[in-house]
Amino acid sequence: MTTSVGIHDLSFATTEFVLPHTELAAHTGVDIGKYHIGIGQRSMSIPALDEDIVTMAATAAAPIVERWGADRIRTVVLATETSIDQSKAAGIYVHSLLNLPPSTRVVELKQACYAGTAGLQFAMGLVHRDPTQQVLVIATDVSRYDLDSAGESTQGAAAVAMLVSADPALIRIEPQSGLHTSDVMDFWRPNYRSTALVAGQESISAYLQALEGVWKDYTEQGGRPLPEFAAFCYHQPFTKMATKAHRHLFNTTGHDLDEDQMTAMLRLTTAYNEVLGNSYTASMYLALASLLDHAGDLTDQPIAFASYGSGCVAEFFGGTVVPGYLEHLRTDGHQAVVERRRSIDHHTYRTLHGRSLPEDGGHHLTPKQTTGPFRFAGLSGHKRLYEHS
Ligand code: HMG
């Protein structure tokens, strides 16, 4: 008998602060319609001085460990493109903050926004090999562009933690996957930069081209016909991108598209991303969280996933919603995570954006700002310090 493997639990976290796009527009002079309608964004999460990818990742994963225990978790995969060290995996700090067992392998994965999906697929393989084991996959990122650049309005931050398990409680992931890799320079961040470089319009074209590629391969791998899917979770660097992608996929494959139906279906997947902003690796899984939390009963419905990471690598795959999943959702908790953020003004945002860490190896404590459960306490002798708040 084939074991069914997939997402057993999903939980997300974001930052202490939020910058509304109305506040950004008041200072950039851009018509708010461009942000609210043109790119489909309303606000973006901004990390406090004592928050980073580790504190968000631990905050996202803690409720999962609390609910299911850590006994079966033998692997932690942390996907990020906001890495904090060239050698040590950020997941080791998370492993320590969550007090996970020492008999665990912990690694970090990178391929722009795609790495969360790589983590999920690698986890699937490990659980198929030994269905008694579970894998904690965490996608965590802070999206940063230069101040006053076109990308600035598409920043954001969040972490999604997923427990991958046999007999999953939420989504069974299907075996067929469409893959696509091509060498393009649409978005990248050299090691010496803290903000990404991007060719905005080219990045949109690269995303759409990759979508064509993954769909072609998915079909060749024996995947489902397009109309079978009840909903589509796209990578959402800004939520309007989901509309562009969906229209492109249907038009280029010769399928009719009911615009009203599309808008209603996609809106269910954009509720979190439109207020958190681009969270890179976490973005597509926030689309899934939004869908599960806001749609009616999706039991036994097939869901499509279209993952894209600049550079570029993309993947298309399907999953089926498991009977009983409604009992395991974290809708109230997710809503609270979004609503607890404190609004900041434009000046505070620019000050936080300009933050850089001292490089002298001294003892530097970080001011306490976060009200979350974990904090980045500072640097000492070039070592990062983390603590429970
Ligand atoms: P831009 O060039 O300033 O904006 O930047 P625009 O002129 O293209 O306008 C955007 C939309 O707003 C347009 O709609 C305008 O018509 C509309 P569209 O034609 O696209 O449908 N608009 C208005 N609508 C209503 N009222 C108004 C108004 N004015 C204009 N008054 C861009 C946009 C997304 C390029 C920029 O924000 C950017 O560079 N962002 C970062 C790059 C990005 O997000 N790329 C997405 C694909 S690549 C990707 O997904 C990977 C990524 O996540 C990274 C990774 O993989 O690691 C980024």
**pLDDT tens-digit series, residues 40-90:** 999 999 999 999 999 999 999 999 999 999 999 999 999 999 999 999 999
**Residue 2 pLDDT class (50, 70, 90 cuts):** low
Indicate which residue's Cα is closest to atom 16 of ligand 1.
38
Ligand 1 pocket test, candidate residues 203, 205, 209, 259, most atoms within 8 A of CB: 203
DSSP conformational letter for 131: T
CA distance 14 to 330: 15
Question: Rounded mean pLDDT of 25-29?
Answer: 97
- Pair of tokens at residue 367: 């001011």
At residue 220, does pLDDT exceed 90?
yes
**Which atom of ligand 1 lies closest to the CA of 244?**
21
Whether the CB of 370 sits within 6 Å of ligand 1: no
Question: Rounded mean pLDDT of 324-339?
Answer: 98
Residue indicated by tokens 């999903």: 10
The pLDDT assigned to 245 comes to 98
Whether the CB of 113 sits within 6 Å of ligand 1: yes
**Residue 316 pLDDT class (50, 70, 90 cuts):** very high
CATH class given for the domain over 5-388: alpha beta
pLDDT in tens, 261-277: 999 999 999 999 999 99
**For strand 197-198 and strand 187-188, is the pairing parallel, antiparallel, or unpaired?**
antiparallel
**Residue 254 pLDDT class (50, 70, 90 cuts):** very high
Q: Is 94 helix (H, G, I), strand (E, B) or coil?
A: helix
At residue 158, does pLDDT exceed 60?
yes
Indicate which residue's Cα is closest to atom 17 of ligand 1.
38
**Which atom of ligand 1 lies closest to the CA of 238?**
44
**Residue 244 C-alpha to ligand 1 middle, in angstroms?**
11
- Contact, 277 vs 155, CB < 8 A? yes
**Residue 14 C-alpha to ligand 1 middle, in angstroms?**
23
CA distance 70 to 326: 23
The phi, psi pair for 139, rounded to 5°, reads -110, 120
pLDDT in tens, 347-366: 999 999 999 999 999 999 99
The pLDDT assigned to 3 comes to 83
Say if residue 113 is preceded by a cis peptide, omega within 30 of 0.
no
Question: Where are the domains positioned within the chain?
Answer: 5-388
Q: What is the pTM of this model?
A: 0.98
